[in-house]
């Protein structure tokens, strides 16, 4: 009996030990599960491009910072009538932050205003396909394509490189009484004159193909005011190719290629950038400045 009692006590002790071990395992599992944390969602990256006005150096431009939402490309594109035009060069960028990205460009086709456009590398990896699968990255539905001004470093232009009419030695600006737009400026042939909101006094940003659509109103000397109702000053802007473009209160003047007959005003409001020139002056006064050239601007005022 004593021997049997000892066996029973040992059996109960073993069961207690097993129970303690099971309890410890359960508590450890519970403790481990309780310490787990819910994985945090990775913040969505907002694509951006930071670029400064700069001079072209060694046929290259530098983009201060590119934040790309995935592998992509930063492309430099020429200005085409206020929109990104021809691609002049591109450089691959990594997912995330890319500081000081250098892009080699075709400087012979550069414009005074250019676009730094951020694309996704969505097609064949490592191949730039701007007209194919590689689309520009967007933020809020708008493409990431900031503009910047080229302050120097472009190769010299030749007179034959820029489209446009042959300048005459004597040009006159007259007034056309439009039934819908009021008194507006026209050239001596009766063709409507326009200005671009993209330009600034003493500076034209219309280059390349833009000049085919919007030929500059050229002169070989001082332009003349042909109507005393014109309230403003005529001047001359020296284009990069050396030709002289007529200005009104500092802004360069153009005709429109789709105007076929005197009095046509088909260019009014095109792209929200091009407008006829009121004979009474611009709605907001525009200061008259000296043309950006060693040759001084000339002005003309009505003759009594």
pLDDT at position 269: 94
Please give the chain's pLDDT, 304 residues, in tens: 554 455 455 555 566 665 666 566 656 655 555 445 555 544 567 899 999 999 999 999 999 999 999 999 999 999 886 788 899 999 999 999 999 999 999 998 888 889 999 999 998 999 999 888 999 999 999 999 999 988 888 876 544 444 555 555 567 899 999 889 999 999 988 899 999 999 999 899 999 889 999 999 998 888 888 888 888 888 999 998 888 999 999 999 999 999 999 989 999 999 999 999 999 887 544 433 333 333 334 444 444 4
CA separation for the pair 66, 100 (Å, rounded): 8
In 3D space, the residue among 73, 178, 180 whose CA is nearest the CA of residue 133 turns out to be: 73
Q: Report yes or no: 153 and 105 within 8 Å, Cβ to Cβ.
A: no
In 3D space, the residue among 56, 242, 250 whose CA is nearest the CA of residue 149 turns out to be: 56
Burial 67-78 (b: 16+ CB within 10 A, else e): bbbeebbbbbbb
Q: Classify domain 48-152 at the CATH class level.
A: mainly beta
Residue reference for tokens 């409507």: 192
pLDDT at position 301: 45
Parallel, antiparallel or unpaired: strands 60-68 and 244-248: unpaired
pLDDT at position 168: 57
Residue reference for tokens 């492309």: 75
- Looking at the DSSP bridge assignments, the partners of residue 138 are 143
Parallel, antiparallel or unpaired: strands 244-248 and 234-238: antiparallel
Domain with CATH 2.60.40 in the chain: 48-152
In 3D space, the residue among 121, 119, 118 whose CA is nearest the CA of residue 71 turns out to be: 121
CA separation for the pair 211, 139 (Å, rounded): 32
Half-sphere exposure of 121 (CA within 13 A, CB side): 17
Q: Report yes or no: 164 and 211 within 8 Å, Cβ to Cβ.
A: yes
Q: State how far Cα 75 lies from the chain centre.
A: 11
């Amino acid at each position: 009996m004593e021997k049997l009692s000892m066996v029973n006590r040992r059996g109960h002790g073993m069961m207690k030990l097993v129970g303690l071990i099971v309890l410890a395992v359960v508590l450890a599992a519970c403790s481990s599960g309780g310490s787990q944390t819910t994985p945090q969602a990775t913040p969505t990256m907002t694509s951006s491009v930071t670029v400064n006005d700069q001079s072209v150096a060694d046929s290259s431009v530098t983009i201060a910072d590119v934040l790309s939402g995935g592998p992509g490309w930063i492309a430099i594109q020429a200005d085409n009538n206020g929109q990104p035009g021809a691609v002049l060069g591109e450089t691959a960028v990594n997912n995330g932050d890319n500081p000081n990205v250098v892009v080699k460009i075709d400087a012979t086709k550069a414009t005074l205003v250019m676009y730094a456009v951020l694309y996704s590398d969505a097609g064949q990896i490592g191949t730039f396909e701007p007209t194919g699968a590689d689309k520009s990255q967007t933020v809020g539905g708008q493409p990431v394509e900031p503009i910047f001004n080229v302050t120097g470093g472009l190769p010299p232009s030749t007179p034959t490189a820029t489209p446009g009419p042959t300048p005459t030695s004597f040009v006159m600006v007259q007034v056309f009484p439009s039934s819908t737009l009021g008194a507006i400026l026209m050239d001596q042939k009766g063709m409507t004159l326009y200005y671009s909101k993209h330009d600034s006094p003493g500076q034209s940003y219309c280059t390349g193909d833009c000049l085919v659509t919007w030929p500059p109103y050229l002169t070989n000397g001082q332009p003349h005011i042909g109507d005393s109702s014109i309230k403003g000053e005529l001047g001359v802007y020296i284009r990069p190719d050396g030709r002289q473009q007529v200005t009104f209160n500092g802004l360069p003047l153009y005709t429109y290629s789709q105007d076929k007959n005197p009095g046509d005003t088909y260019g009014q409001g095109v792209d929200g950038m091009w407008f006829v020139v009121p004979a009474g002056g611009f709605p907001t006064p525009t200061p008259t400045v000296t043309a950006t050239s060693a040759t001084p601007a000339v002005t003309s005022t009505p003759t009594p």
